Amino acid sequence: MTQAHSLDWLARAHAHAEAQLTGLDVAGRDAFADKMARLLGRVACSTDRIATRGSVLPDFTTSDRYGGVPNLLYDDPRADLAAPAHPHGRGVATRLQLYARAVDAYFARHYAGDEAPDDLIHVTCTGYVSPSGAQKVVAALGWGERTRVTHAYHMGCYAALPAVRIAAGFNANGSQRVDIVHTELCSLHLDPSDHRLEQLVVQSLFADGLIRYSLIDDDAGPGLRPLAACEVVIADSADSMRWVPSEWGMQMTLARDVPEQIAEALRGVVTELYRRGGFGIDAIKHSVFAVHPGGPKIIDRVREVLELTPAQVATSCDVLRDHGNMSSASLPHIWMRLLADPRVPSGTLIPSLAFGPGLTVSGALLEKQ
């Protein structure tokens, strides 16, 4: 969906929820929608920084486009006010059923006809169903005696970097191929009745993202080689970013000063990354950065603090523009583009940075081969 359409949908969905909760008539609902549209225009991620976002749900577009498929989770914001109401969206049980359906299908589709990996790491912070989609596909394909399944859950947006550390440990202990699969379905966790400004920011930023990649114990062929890792939890920052269960899915809280808190820790993390990789900090000038696109302000602040050129973070901006913030799936999408980009030559250092609850600043230094 285009960002312009999603912002219009959000304004109408918030107004429909308010009407269901407070008894607004049609005129009152329309006036509330206009108010929400103005608020979104002021605080939401704008269409010049995010052009499109994806969702596994048909709810965010007209049902006609899907051949009359009804909304699965959220009320149609154009619905009759007398219709059955779910002003918060349906409950967490329904959300997890939808999560399992989409994730199971993804695993089945992407492992059909494949060979078994030694290890399979499933990464998510947006759905919890046991057995997981990873376990189900291993069982269905008869890989249970060959493939170990590990779950790397609830770390939020920075989880790709701990997942790579886990995979590297498996490689070091004999695994030839470790697959990492991210299944982040952020659009399942919206509450249209929550009109707080921070929630409007979150609802206009996050999107669904899925991706699979492998860590292989082999230096031959193209890829990104991990050289070093560094991670810190910022002191006295636990309340700055939260991702907790609620009756209507996962609820995020996000303090306004998160970009500044990250900025204060960033230079030390990056300096340590280069030191551990055996490079001086001057190598930063020739590096291409993979920055988790937590939002436009995050990328801009990272660029300012590290004195980077726009070209050094361009791919991060491109992924944000094309997909929004896909939580932990975002960084691997940036890696995929950098690996395929002929303008990024072999030997290029790719410092990768991501951020999440804690506040946690996580980094890895990769080298393109």
Kindly report, residue by residue over 113-162, the tens digit of the pLDDT: 999 999 999 999 999 999 999 999 999 999 999 999 999 999 999 999 99
Residues 320 and 356 in one domain: yes
Residues 256 and 200 in one domain: no
For 94, phi then psi, to 5°, come to: -65, -40
Q: Is residue 75 part of a domain?
A: no
Residues 230 and 336 in one domain: yes
Residues 198 and 250 in one domain: no
Residues 291 and 211 in one domain: no
- CA pair distance 295, 256, nearest whole angstrom: 12
How many beta carbons lie within 10 A of that of residue 142, not counting itself? 10
* Six token digits for residue 345: 């030559």
End position of a domain, from candidates 66, 82, 108: 66
CATH for 208: 3.40.47.10
Q: What is the DSSP letter of 206?
A: B
Q: Is residue 353 part of a domain?
A: yes
Q: Is residue 228 part of a domain?
A: yes
The pLDDT value recorded for residue 61 is 76
The pLDDT value recorded for residue 81 is 87
Looking at the DSSP bridge assignments, the partners of residue 202 are none
End position of a domain, from candidates 191, 216, 241: 216
Contact criterion met (CB below 8 Å) for 185 and 126: yes
Average pLDDT across each block of 10 residues of the chain; the chain has 369 residues. List them in order: 95 96 95 97 93 94 62 89 88 96 97 96 96 98 97 96 97 96 97 94 95 90 94 89 87 81 90 96 96 91 95 97 97 98 97 93 97
Tell me the residue range of the domain where 102 lies: 92-216
- CA pair distance 199, 250, nearest whole angstrom: 12
- CA pair distance 151, 121, nearest whole angstrom: 6
Q: Is residue 295 part of a domain?
A: yes
User: Which position has the token pair 């980009």?
Assistant: 341
Residues 10 and 40 in one domain: yes
* Six token digits for residue 221: 């062929």
Q: Is residue 73 part of a domain?
A: no
The pLDDT value recorded for residue 297 is 87
- CA pair distance 361, 232, nearest whole angstrom: 5
Residues 284 and 174 in one domain: no
How many beta carbons lie within 10 A of that of residue 202, not counting itself? 22
Contact criterion met (CB below 8 Å) for 52 and 319: no
Q: Is residue 79 part of a domain?
A: no
Residues 180 and 266 in one domain: no
Going from the C-alpha of 291 to that of each of 110, 243, 315, 332, the distances in angstroms are: 27, 21, 9, 10
How many beta carbons lie within 10 A of that of residue 12, not counting itself? 20
Tell which phi-psi region holds residue 278, choosing left (phi > 0), alpha (psi between -120 and 50) or beta. Answer: left
Residues 364 and 279 in one domain: yes
Going across the sheet that includes 349-356, the strands are 224-233, 360-368, 349-356, 290-291
User: Which position has the token pair 């991990």?
Assistant: 226
Q: In angstroms, how far is CA 310 from the centroid of its own chain?
A: 22
To the nearest 10 degrees (0 to 180), the angle between helices 26-43 and 3-22 is 140
Q: Is residue 83 part of a domain?
A: no
3-state secondary structure of 22: helix
Contact criterion met (CB below 8 Å) for 328 and 184: yes
> How many domains does the structure of the chain reveal?
3
Looking at the DSSP bridge assignments, the partners of residue 230 are 363
- CA pair distance 192, 257, nearest whole angstrom: 25
Closest CA to 133 of 116, 110, 114: 110
| CA atoms 25, 28, 34, 38: torsion sign | negative
The pLDDT value recorded for residue 328 is 97
Going from the C-alpha of 82 to that of each of 60, 88, 172, the distances in angstroms are: 21, 16, 61
End position of a domain, from candidates 162, 188, 216: 216
* Six token digits for residue 125: 């912070």
Residues 235 and 363 in one domain: yes
Residues 237 and 168 in one domain: no
Instruction: List, for residues 201-229, the tens digit of each pLDDT value.
Output: 999 999 999 999 999 988 778 999 999 99
**Range list of H helices, the chain:** 3-22, 26-43, 92-111, 133-140, 160-172, 197-203, 258-277, 296-306, 314-323, 330-340
pTM of the model: 0.95
The pLDDT value recorded for residue 236 is 86
The pLDDT value recorded for residue 361 is 94
Q: Is residue 323 part of a domain?
A: yes
Residues 332 and 255 in one domain: yes
- CA pair distance 295, 277, nearest whole angstrom: 28
